[in-house]
Structure formats: structure tokens, C-alpha cells
């Protein structure tokens, strides 16, 4: 029970916990690096193979347990998941579950994903690869991270980073 104005109101336990307990959360940013796979190129082909290495960094103050990343933007792409990840496909996208606790300050490599892109990068100027992951963990609010990777940046092997945003929840009134 809490006094609010001139009334006493029964307050829900989650509200009380948010007032009196420290807020600890994981804050997982995504980092993507690209490289051109020279071994997969054919001299007569008009495409080349580009490999994106995806990793996550826990910049928060809490360990993320049961960390899961759901990739929703590139259906049908082949991911080469690293050893501590369990991966499988669902109707919503490719799901990756990290098998260990994800501690603050720790970086974990998720996977390498390969794309075939036009060999004449930037011919149109608007070609890009978009990656989008929904992030879930025990006792954490769902987040979403997005990376927009223009193909012109691939030749420079520029690294990209994305910060998490709250996952929008559709509301039906």
C-alpha cells in the first residue's frame, strides 16, 4: 500500500520492485565486419561472395542468461553459427540461442553469413544489405538491432555497429 495524494492505493509488486531495487540490464550491441571471399569468386561470374561476421557485445551491468537472437531480415541465407550457439529455422526467421551466460564486457561471435552481391559494387549506388535481429534474454526487455550496410562500404571492409532499441509491441485496442 502506498499513499498517493490524499489516498492510499494498493501498488502492484512490479512497480514496487522498480522503485526499490537497482535496475540491472544487459545492453547488447551488434557489430558487423565484412570481407570479400576471394576463394568463392569465379572469373566469369558477375557476382562475388561477401562474408559478414556478426558479433554481440554486452555493454550492460547484468549477465544475459538464455540469450537468444532472432534474425528476421534475411530469410533463406546460410549462417555458419559459432560453436556455443544452437541455431534452427522458424517461421519468423533464423533463431540463435547462446548456450552460456553472456557476462558484462564480453563479446561473443554469432555467425558468419555469406551473400552473393554484384561484382560491380556501387553500379546503381543504392545496393545494400540490411540485417535485423530481435534480442531476448531472461528478465530483460526484448530489443531489436538493425544494421544498414551499403555495398560501397564492403571494399573498404568498414565495420558497422548498432545499438539496441526497444522492440515495438503491436497494440490492439
CA quadruple 98, 101, 102, 106: dihedral sign: negative
pLDDT digits (tens, 9 = 90+) for 24-42: 778 889 998 888 777 765 5
The mean pLDDT of 137-144, rounded to a whole number, is 86
Q: Please state whether beta strands 85-89 and 94-98 pair in parallel, antiparallel, or not at all (unpaired).
A: antiparallel
Query: How far does the chain reach from its first CA to its final CA, in angstroms?
Result: 30
Residue 164 has pLDDT above 70, yes or no: yes
The rounded distance, in Å, linking the Cα atoms of 37 and 81 is: 17
The average confidence (pLDDT) of the chain is 81
Instruction: State what percent of residues in the chain have pLDDT above 70.
Output: 84
Specify the pTM: 0.75
Residue 138 has pLDDT above 80, yes or no: yes
CATH architecture of 24-163: Sandwich (2.60)
Structure confidence at residue 75 (pLDDT): 55
Structure confidence at residue 120 (pLDDT): 65
Amino acid at each position: 500500500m502506498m499513499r498517493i495524494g490524499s489516498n492510499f492505493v494498493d501498488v502492484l509488486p512490479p512497480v514496487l520492485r522498480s522503485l526499490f531495487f537497482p535496475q540491472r540490464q544487459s545492453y547488447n550491441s551488434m557489430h558487423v565486419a565484412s570481407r570479400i571471399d576471394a576463394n568463392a569468386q569465379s572469373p566469369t561470374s558477375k557476382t562475388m561472395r561477401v562474408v559478414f561476421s556478426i558479433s554481440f557485445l554486452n555493454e550492460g551491468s547484468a549477465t544475459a542468461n538464455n540469450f537468444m537472437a532472432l534474425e528476421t531480415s534475411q530469410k533463406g541465407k546460410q549462417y555458419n553459427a559459432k560453436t556455443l550457439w544452437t541455431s534452427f529455422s522458424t517461421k519468423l526467421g533464423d533463431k540463435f540461442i547462446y548456450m552460456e551466460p553472456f557476462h558484462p564486457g564480453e563479446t561473443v561471435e554469432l555467425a558468419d553469413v555469406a551473400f552473393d552481391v554484384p561484382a560491380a559494387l556501387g553500379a546503381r549506388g543504392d545496393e545494400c544489405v540490411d540485417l535485423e535481429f530481435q534480442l531476448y534474454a531472461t528478465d530483460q526487455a526484448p530489443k531489436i538491432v538493425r544494421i544498414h550496410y551499403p555495398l560501397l562500404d564492403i571494399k573498404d571492409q568498414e565495420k558497422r555497429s548498432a545499438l539496441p532499441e526497444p522492440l515495438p509491441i503491436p497494440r490492439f485496442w
